Amino acid sequence: MSQKAEKGCRQTRTVKGRIRFLSIVLPALLIIPAAKAFHLQVLTRDMLRDRAARQSQMVVKIQPRRGAILDRNANPLAISVPVSSVYAFREQVEDKRQAAKVLAGALNTDWKVLARRLKSGKGFVWLKRKISPEEAKIVAELDIKGVGIQEESRRYYPNKGLAAPVLGFVGIDRGLEGLEYSLDEQLKGGAGERMLAKDGLGSSYVPDSRWAIEPFRGSTVKLTIDRTIQHFAEQALEAGAGAVDAAGGALVVMESATGRILAMASYPGFNPNNFQDYGSSEYRNRTVNFEYEPGSTFKIVTIAAALQDKVYDDKDIIYCGNGKFQVADAVINDQIPHGWLTLRGILRKSSNIGASRVGLQVGSERLEKYITDFGFGERMDILLPGVRSGTVRAASGWTQVDTANIAFGQGLGVTPLQMVNAVNTLATGGILLKPYLVEEITSSSGTVIMQNHPQLLHRVIDEDTARKMAGMLVSVTGQGGSGFRAAIPGYRVAGKTGTAQKFSKEEGSYSNTHFVASFAGFAPAQDPVLTAIVVIDEPAREIYGGVIAAPVWAEAISKSLKYLGVEPEINQDNNHPDQERNKAEPVIADSRQNAEPVGEQVMPDLTGLTLREALIKLAGFEHSIEVNGSGVVVSQNPSAGKPVQKFISVTLQPRIKDRRVASSQRNGTPLKKESLDFHAAGERPL
């Protein structure tokens, strides 16, 4: 092949190679931008769009208006009102240091804090939220570039401190205490998000009318609390607890027939509008989280158990040791010595020894059963935070001393709500109700999302036992009873006092200086409307429940009964009429009748008469009559024929067929009560 031909072939191969190269490269060059376009427009479209939005828009979270809390009559207890908050766009604020100093004066805050907020980061920042109208007005007048005002809502309590420990309070965005905390999900509603867009120059943000997410208002919570009864309760508790310099106090008022809680008062209280000015102890709802040893109010459980299981009946008498009772290695004392008392007398005189003897006869296992049946040892679900269950140890671990102590309310822990609900079991004829505080919850759209109704849990005692117990508790508030200061003119009051020593963990023993005083009961006794308890913790002056708690109870409940329109059931001058008094033998009989005594009253001879016969003879006397024992009258003071000046004391003893005892009585030999046969006297041996 010639040189010329060879050269032509080489050129041809080169051209073909270049063509092949271009046919590969050119399509590849077209594919790359197409792939890039596909990547940008399809694969990363959402990400890039969000990035662009972030660069040109801003979303500001706006809290919704919180739902209202109302009392049972729809009176507002907690509401949300419009309020202003101050914000800034950092890039727009030219002199951040100067702006911070000016704003600090208007907002009553540290200018250095504001300066740090303005300098750290970019874009939107809250400077101060939920300010007063006066502060908002000053900020608006300053007209600082980049600083604006956004409307939000703020929690407001129109009744100030009323029911504050029940309601609790709200922080910036959530509930922190009370119902505001426990029902925060229902009350808070749904937060909204407002769009802010950059202006045409891209240098500042301007409000956009669009909602990224539209907020919705929180649900409305309607309580069983009655604002007026709550006021009566708080007023009475504050006066009573304050008068004795108490460390704390609680008062609960329930609607007897339904278990609705009409008032929950705690002392001391606070104003939730300014909650930051108070300490955590003042936030405490003592009605549900104050656990204490109930003392003598708990004797109701012991006596009811004995009656229900027929361990004793209301005619039996129990020897109360004249003030001392040895149980194993312990000695149980009564403040005032007593001899023989009926079950009514044990309650009326509040005898620890009498209750201990009854409890020992009932036995630890049966007593534990009734304690549980009355609702102790279990947490009550009433939608409040911090509700305590109390402390009840298993009977398998009780010693004989434990049983004796628990029988009069020492050695177990209860809350005021538990105790008042147990007492209410007598008012309902023996049925334990479930107490409740929240009546209903309604969403912002008007849908009822939760509604409570009266709920019967179980029967604890039968109606006959409940009726007998009510009659006994009425005698407690009569003249001579430990709770006579709880009496309300025109109404029969059934109740029980309590005075309990507090146990000191540091000393490992019961204190001689720290006590809990209480009174629990219901009225009117014949047809109960209200059941209530007053508990006063560590009174510094008087210590007895009958002296300091009973008057507080009477003050709150007397006003509440009148407010509710409950008509008086008995003559204003006769709080304990004959028919109520004669249903069972009382230990102290109030002999005042409608008839007025005429002239000097001389003591008749009562020897040998039954109690009923003696009371008939004493019907015209306007004096307190103290009765000890049961059976027939064996002694009296004053003696027959003597004028009656202050009070009358009558001692009775059972008719005993023992010839030795009868001979001793005929010969004038003193008869020692300790020598009486327990079975003949109605007492059971220990």
pLDDT in tens, 19-28: 776 677 667 6
Q: Who contacts 562 (Cβ-Cβ below 8 Å, separation ≥6)?
A: none
Vertex 644: Cα angle to 641 and 646 (nearest 5): 155
Task: Indicate if 320 and 381 belong to the same structural domain.
Answer: yes
Tokens of 59: 């979303």
Task: Indicate if 67 and 95 belong to the same structural domain.
Answer: yes
Residue 597 above 80 pLDDT? Answer: no
User: Does the CA dihedral 227-232-235-238 come out positive or negative?
Assistant: negative
Chain position carrying tokens 């015209």: 620
Has residue 557 been placed in a domain? yes
Q: Which residue has the higher pLDDT, 190 or 262?
A: 262
CA atoms of 495 and 550, how far apart (whole Å): 9
Task: Indicate if 529 and 610 belong to the same structural domain.
Answer: no
- 202-251 pLDDT, tens digit per residue, is 444 555 556 667 778 899 999 999 999 999 999 999 999 999 999 999 99
Q: Choose one of 220, 249, 265: the last residue of a domain.
A: 220
User: Does the CA dihedral 126-128-131-137 come out positive or negative?
Assistant: negative
Report the SS3 class of residue 401.
helix
Task: Look up the domain containing 14 and give its range.
Answer: 3-43
CA atoms of 104 and 446, how far apart (whole Å): 43
Q: Considering only CA atoms, which of 105, 102, 109, 100 is closest in space to residue 129?
A: 109
Has residue 48 been placed in a domain? no
Catalytic status, residue 280: no
Q: Which of 80, 182, 296, 364 is catalytic?
A: 296
* Upper half-sphere CA count for residue 311 (Cβ side, 13 Å): 23
Confidence band for 663, pLDDT divided at 50, 70 and 90: very low
Has residue 575 been placed in a domain? no
Q: Residue 62 is part of a domain; what is its CATH number?
A: 3.90.1310.10
**pTM for this predicted structure:** 0.73
CA atoms of 478 and 482, how far apart (whole Å): 8
- 241-276 pLDDT, tens digit per residue, is 999 999 999 999 999 999 999 999 999 999 999 999
Task: Indicate if 123 and 255 belong to the same structural domain.
Answer: no
Task: Indicate if 146 and 256 belong to the same structural domain.
Answer: no
CA atoms of 460 and 438, how far apart (whole Å): 25
CB atoms inside a 10 Å sphere around CB 312: 23
Q: 132: which strand partners? A: none
Q: Considering only CA atoms, which of 542, 556, 557, 551 is closest in space to residue 499?
A: 542
> Out of 536-540, 575-579, 601-605, which region has the weakest mean confidence (pLDDT)?
575-579
Confidence band for 424, pLDDT divided at 50, 70 and 90: very high
Task: Indicate if 132 and 277 belong to the same structural domain.
Answer: no
Residues 476, 351 contacting (CB under 8 angstroms): no
CA atoms of 379 and 386, how far apart (whole Å): 10
Has residue 51 been placed in a domain? no
Q: Residue 550 is part of a domain; what is its CATH number?
A: 3.40.710.10
Q: Residue 617 is part of a domain; what is its CATH number?
A: 3.30.10.20
**DSSP assignment string, 327-367:** ETTEEEE-SS---EEEHHHHHHHT-HHHHHHHHHHH-HHHH
Task: Indicate if 271 and 413 belong to the same structural domain.
Answer: yes
Has residue 574 been placed in a domain? no
Report the SS3 class of residue 204.
coil
For residue 621, give the amino acid letter: F
Residue 176 above 60 pLDDT? Answer: yes
- 427-457 pLDDT, tens digit per residue, is 999 999 999 999 999 999 999 999 999 999 9
For residue 275, give the amino acid letter: F
Task: Indicate if 213 and 145 belong to the same structural domain.
Answer: yes
* Upper half-sphere CA count for residue 362 (Cβ side, 13 Å): 32
The pLDDT of residue 222: 98
Task: Indicate if 546 and 668 belong to the same structural domain.
Answer: no
Start-to-end C-alpha separation, the chain: 141
Task: Indicate if 189 and 331 belong to the same structural domain.
Answer: no
Has residue 571 been placed in a domain? no
Beta-sheet strands, E only, within 256-400: 261-267, 317-319, 324-327, 330-333, 340-342
Task: Indicate if 12 and 110 belong to the same structural domain.
Answer: no
The pLDDT of residue 595: 28
Percent of residues, the chain, with pLDDT higher than 70: 79
Task: Indicate if 422 and 547 belong to the same structural domain.
Answer: yes
Has residue 380 been placed in a domain? yes
CA atoms of 254 and 268, how far apart (whole Å): 21
- 351-401 pLDDT, tens digit per residue, is 999 999 999 999 999 999 999 999 999 999 999 999 999 999 999 999 999
Q: Which residue has the higher pLDDT, 599 or 438?
A: 438
Residue 575 is classified by DSSP as S
How much is the average pLDDT of 289-317? 95
Confidence band for 137, pLDDT divided at 50, 70 and 90: confident
Average pLDDT across the chain, whole number: 82
Has residue 178 been placed in a domain? no
* Count of domains observed in the chain: 4
Query: In this structure, what is the dihedral angle of CA atoms 114, 118, 124, 127, given to the nearest 10 degrees?
Result: 10
The pLDDT of residue 638: 84
Burial of 348 (0-12, 13-18, 19+ CB in 10 A): buried
